[in-house]
Amino acid sequence: MSSNKSFIPEYWKGKNKEKISCKEKINILNSNIYELHEMIADVYDEAILIGIDEEQLKDVLKKIIKSLKNNLKNV
């Protein structure tokens, strides 16, 4: 896992804006976030190595995030 934890919030909020208290759920989510960060860092490094413009790559990554939709209709 990355030593950079600055992207993880102090606490996670639920739909009702109250603090999520289940440590197991928080640990799983944080672990997934760290894994995603590492994967993005690998893609980023590989793109830079092949000469891709950093700003264009960041724009693509932002578009990916903006395109996310909740597919869990009942949650």
- The residue assigned the tokens 């994967």 is 39
Distance CA 46, CA 71 (A): 30
Res. 1 pLDDT band, cuts 50 70 90 = very low
Question: 2-45 pLDDT, tens per residue?
Answer: 455 788 999 999 989 999 999 999 999 999 999 999 999 999 99
CB-count exposure of residue 6 (10 Å: 0-12, 13-18, 19+): exposed
Q: Please check whether residue 54 is in contact with residue 48, taking contact to mean a CB–CB distance below 8 angstroms.
A: yes
Distance CA 40, CA 42 (A): 5
Specify the pTM: 0.79
Q: Where are the domains of the chain?
A: 1-75
